[in-house]
Amino acid sequence: MKQIFTALSLGALFLGAPAFADAEVGTAAPAFTLKDETGKEHSLAQYKGKVVVLEWTNPECPFVQRHYSADTMANTLKGFDAKKVVWLAVDSTAHNTPDKSAAWKKTEGFSYPVLQDASGTVGKSFGAKTTPHMYVIDEQGVVRYAGAIDDDPRGKSDKKVNHVKAAVDALLGGKAVPTATSTPYGCSVKYKSS
Amino acid sequence: MAAAAWAEVPASAVGTGAPDEGDPRVEATLLVDSTQVKPGDTFRVGVRFRMDPGWHIYWKNPGDSGLETDVTWDTPGSTVGPLQWPSPNTFRTPDGFITTHGYEGEVLLFAQARAAQDATGQLQLSAAAEALVCEVHCIPAELMLTRSVPLGTETVRDAEAMRAFDAAQAKVPRPTADTGHTVQLALDAKQLTAGQDFTGTLTVTGPGGAALPATEGDFFTPERIEGVASVALTPAGAGRFKLKGKAEPDVPGAEPRLTGVLRLGTAASGYQPLAVDVAMAPVVAAGGAVAAAPGVKLPSVKDSIAAVKPVAAVVPAAAPADSSVGLGLALLFAFLGGALLNLMPCVFPVLALKAYGFTRMVQQEQGRVASHAAAYAGGIIGSMLLLAGAVLAVRAGGASVGWGFQFQEPLFVAAVSAVLVAFALNLFGVFNVGMDGTALAGKVDSSHGLLHSAGEGVLAVVLATPCSAPLLGTAVGFAFAAGPLTVLAVFTALGLGLALPFCVLVLVPGLAKKLPKPGAWMERFKQVLGFALLATTVWLVWVMGGLAGVDGMARLLAFLVAVGLGTWVYGQSQLQEGGRRLASVAVAVLVLVGAGVASLRFDGLAPEARASSTVARTQPWDSAAVTAALEAGQPVFIDFTADWCLTCKFNERTVLSRDEVRAAFTEHQVAFFVADWTRRDARITAKLAEHGRAGVPMYLVLSPGAPDRPEVLPELLTADLVVDAVKRAAECSPSRRKDGSNIVCAVGFPRP
């Protein structure tokens, strides 16, 4: 009887594997290797030992535009120790091109790479639904935060809490992440229709 | 519906937004359902959004992306209530990866408003509407809409606007408390574990127990639930839905509730949206580290037993009616309830029989006592697990069952009667049961072969099911609403409890030797027990009468005669040899099968309408009638019973039909309802489940002062208990309270 249950539950785990592929807090982040807008490859594995912030983005989305005009991302990154934290933007928009990313990066004047995921494979492996949708991955490659950049979807609060900043500060300080998930808000990721 | 139809709408009340290459994708209008409002009167105010084809705005839970549409009111001289949301549509990206909820075409988001008593002049109404308008890409829209409504001596409705508001109102999900639907959620675990999947069953019954209409498409749209990352329903038979969800890794402060819109009906028949709001369970952190592996954690019996200890001290205080029972407590209740079952009238004959067997065995074959006890316990637990398996199988088929459900099946009643008669005849010595071919050698008392012991265990279970014992209802009710493993665990605990007396007999050294010495009295005792079994058969025949009428009873009796004949022929064969013996056995089998085929047909037979039971003036249970009685200020007593339920009959005859109880019912004008579960009745099964029970008896006392909080009485009634409960319910009635009663109903009624 016991063996049967064990076999069944193991079977369920394997069968269920694709369903569990989302980057869930507390589990290892899905591995990936993507080229940035200049063609340089970045893999999650190469940043082991550093805290990695992933930002799903799409310059055409009004929510992303609002955060870039307010410099939310740049200001958040500025608050971290550059030796310990890596910031990677990922664009899973089906019709995005490296040239568009390069042009946008120049206009907005930020320094971190924009990873090119027009196929949507990496976005879907993380379960990224919105732009912006943020993930914080610890030094061992485990997801520690998934959700919105802050608690202010409408951009009107003067007392907003920046969840990404709180999560990274907690990780670097050896503390528990105060808010491990939040509901991401924004435009949907414009994935390639499959 | 051009703008011209709304001739009075001022330009300030109309706005456009979300410009897409110069073309606005949304038009919003501030609507009021009255052209003039009297101070103190209510009216409705809302914002109508019209989107270009293919564009949509969002519901209060936008889903995977998007943004909740927001309307902020500024209305000096009047107050505006919460925004009413018509039932939303569900949108999916072509790959199904992103799901959102909202409105396309046109929607009126509105609210109830009330003009202040002291308002003068004109009511100024301003709405700041904020919407994210999306097709594939999204454009935010911010609109300021204002208009004014004159105040007057009368409120004058605007027929055209009224139609728009009424249409929108019809699409707003109604709370189940208003529609009369009952919604019950049974999660498969007591708690949700942070970051882990959970499952459960949602049972919905229509007003008055009516069957639920079919559903189609995206019939359930959850609201945002703090602590729950996702939740979905799939239909699982009439009125039942499988719930699957996942808790967020964060543990919220409060217990999450399942809130959302359940859309009943189909596009063809029309939709009826219901607002569902039921408690789920607290979310607890995953064991220790947050890094727990994903996957379903199977509840282990070991964990549960460990959990029993601290809880056990609370048992006497915890009322059996409490439906929030944990697995540990359920297992303990099942075990104790199983042990108590031995004393109930259903099982007692078997117990006596077994005691008799032991007495003989202790003297003759001491070494085998332990193995017989094990066989007896094995028979009990084995058949308990079979019963659990049957419950699960029936449930998987979408039907709902309860404790003792098999007695709702005439063929089952017939089979049990036949076994009892055969058993009795065996005790009378009409035939022997020889398991090892030594029956006639007389060296070993073959009537107590190991298989025989196991068989007695099975019989004990079969006879136990129509009885309910204290604590048992709670445990089994818990199990029936839970997952397969819990069902198996609770039934095993129940079997262990039932087998307890004999295990104690074996395990406590010296106890077995204290049994009386066997002698000639034992043969007579055995035969007396045979009559006890026949008496049990009388009861089963009566049950059959309830199921299939006089004809059914006659058929069953005819079959029992054939069983007698068949076993007698078989008994004769045991005295014969060779070919004649085989021939006799063949005749016995032929008689049994032939009689069975000829007589056991109960389809289409129905019981005659019977005179009301032994209890005072009663009426058949019906939710609507109960509500009516409560509204009339009457306390309500509901007796959930069945003919085959001996505990129910015992309570009815010894307590409910007593003069003092009847007098109390008359004095307090109690409306007495009988919910008869003798035959299958899904409404009653659902009502039992609502109170955490899986079987009868169950007694509910409802007070007109607190109709939503019935008091559940224990399985075994006493006259005082019933009189007190009824009195309490009557004194909490609002009409009585005016007479200066100082009873504090919130405390005294019902029990927490």
Domain at B742, CATH number = 3.40.30.10
Residues B184 and B165 in one domain: no
User: Residue B288 contacts by C-beta under 8 Å, 6 or more apart in sequence?
Assistant: none
Same domain, B235 and B348: no
Whose structure tokens read 């970051």?
B195
Verify that B363 and B433 share a domain, yes or no.
yes
Please report the residues numbered 3 through 62 in chain A whose beta carbons come closer than 8 angstroms to any beta carbon of chain B: 5, 9, 12-13, 16, 20, 24-27, 60-62
> Which residues are CB-neighbours of B262 under 8 A, at least 6 positions away?
B173, B183, B204, B215, B219, B220, B233, B273, B274, B276
CA distance B687 to B645: 17
- Number of alpha carbons in the 13 Å side-chain half-sphere of residue A24: 25
B249 in contact with chain A, both atoms CB, cutoff 8 A: yes
Domain count, chain B: 4
B138/A183 CB distance under 8 A: no
Do residues A61 and A97 lie in contact, with contact meaning Cβ atoms separated by under 8 Å?
Answer: no
- Give B316's Cβ-side CA count (13 Å radius): 1
Q: Token match 């998987």: residue? A: B396
How far is residue B379's CA from residue B502's CA, in Å, rounded to a whole number? 13
* Beta bridge mates, B103: B57
For residue B744, the distance in angstroms to the closest alpha carbon of chain A comes to: 43
The pLDDT assigned to B481 comes to 63
Can you spell out the DSSP letters for B12-28?
GGEEEEEEETTEEEEEE
Q: Which of B659, B666, B553, B668 is nearest to B614 (CA)?
A: B659
Residues 6+ apart with CB under 8 A from A10: none
Amino acid A36: pLDDT: 94
Contact A129 B293 (CB under 8 A): no
pTM of the predicted model as reported, rounded to 2 decimal places: 0.50
Range of the domain at B115: 3-172
What is the nearest CA distance from B484 to chain A, expressed in angstroms? 12
Are B164 and B266 within 8 A, CB to CB?
no
The 10 Å Cβ neighbour count of residue B632 is 12
Domain match, B164 and B194 both:
no
- In tens, the pLDDT along B642-676 reads 877 777 777 787 788 888 888 888 888 888 888 88
Looking at the fold, whether B401 and B270 belong to one and the same domain comes out as no
Length of chain A: 194
* B277 contacts B174 by C-beta, under 8 angstroms: no
Contact B67 A153 (CB under 8 A): yes
State whether B695 and B717 are in the same domain.
yes
List Cβ neighbours of B152 (8 Å cut-off, separation of 6 or more): B36, B37, B38
Task: Tell me, yes or no, whether B65 lies in a domain.
Answer: yes
Q: Is the Cβ–Cβ distance between B660 and B714 less than 8 Å?
A: no
pLDDT: is B107 or B492 the higher one? B107
Closest CA to B641 of B349, B407, B383: B407
Looking up residue B90, the CATH number of its domain turns out to be 2.60.40.10
A18-32 pLDDT, tens digit per residue, is 333 477 888 899 999
**Interior/surface letters B115-153, b for 16+ CB within 10 angstroms, e for the rest:** beeebeeebebbbebbbbbbbeebbbbebebebbbebee
Residue ending a domain, among B489, B507, B529, is B529
Yes or no, beta carbons of A124 and B295 under 8 Å apart: no
DSSP state letter for B596: H
Which of B65, B47, B67 shows the shortest CA–CA distance to B57? Answer: B67
Residues of chain B contacting residue A187, judged by C-beta atoms under 8 Å apart: 65-66, 134, 137-138
- The mean of the pLDDT values for chain B is 77
Residues B129/B69, Cβ–Cβ less than 8 Å: yes
**Residues in CB range of B306: below 8 A, 6 or more apart:** B328
Same domain, B503 and B461: yes
Residue B405 lies in a domain: yes
Q: Which residue has the higher pLDDT, B519 or A159?
A: A159
Residue of B nearest to A66 (CA): B140
Note the pLDDT tens digit of each residue in B427-457: 787 876 543 333 333 333 444 567 777 777 7
Is it the case that residue A165 has pLDDT exceeding 80? yes
Residue A169 pLDDT class (50, 70, 90 cuts): very high
Name residues whose C-beta falls within 8 Å of residue B695's C-beta, 6 or more positions apart in sequence. B402, B403, B404, B405, B468, B473, B476, B477, B645, B677, B688
Q: What is the pLDDT of residue A131?
A: 92
Count of alpha carbons within 13 Å of B683, Cβ hemisphere only?
16
Last residue of a domain, one of B250, B284, B318: B284
Query: What CATH number is associated with residue B192?
Result: 2.60.40.1930
Write the CA distances from B588 to B437, B594, B664, B697, integer angstroms: 19, 10, 57, 40
Q: How confident is the model at residue B396 (pLDDT cuts 50, 70, 90)?
A: low
B224, B250, B293 member nearest A180 (Cβ): B250
Chain A contact present for B93, CB below 8 A: yes
Residue B543 lies in a domain: no
Q: Cis omega (within 30 of 0) on the bond before A30?
A: no
Residue B505 belongs to some domain of the structure: yes
Question: Is CATH 3.40.30.10 the classification given to domain A28-188?
Answer: yes
What letter represents residue B633's amino acid?
G
pLDDT in tens, B47-83: 999 999 989 999 999 988 888 999 999 999 899 999 9
pLDDT at B120: 86
Task: Choose, out of B248, B302, B381, B491, the residue to mutate when testing the contact with A (most A CBs < 10 Å).
Answer: B248
Model confidence at B743: pLDDT above 60: no
Q: d(Cα B568, Cα B572) in Å, to the nearest integer?
A: 6
C-alpha distances out from residue B693 to B239, B342, B642, Å: 18, 21, 14
- Based on the fold, state whether residues B219 and B368 are members of the same structural domain: no
- Of B510, B529, B548, the last residue of a domain is B529
Same domain, B90 and B215: no
Two structure tokens written together for B667: 């004095």
State pLDDT tens for residues B475-503: 776 776 667 787 888 888 888 888 887 77
B183 in the same domain as B144: no
Residues B525 and B653 in one domain: no
Digit-coded pLDDT (tens) for B506-527: 666 666 666 666 566 667 777 7
Q: Which of B98-112, B209-223, B578-592 has the lowest mean pLDDT?
A: B578-592
Report how far apart, in Å, the C-alpha atoms of A74 and of each of A71, A89, A157, B405 are. Answer: 5, 11, 19, 67
Q: Rounded to whole angstroms, how far apart are CA atoms B652 and B641?
A: 9
Instruction: Say how far apart CA B182 and CA A154 lie, in whole Å.
Output: 37
Q: CA B483: distance to chain centroid?
A: 13
Please give the DSSP secondary-structure letter assigned to residue B4: G
**Residues B19 and B142 reside in one and the same domain:** yes
Residue B270: strand pairing partners:
B266
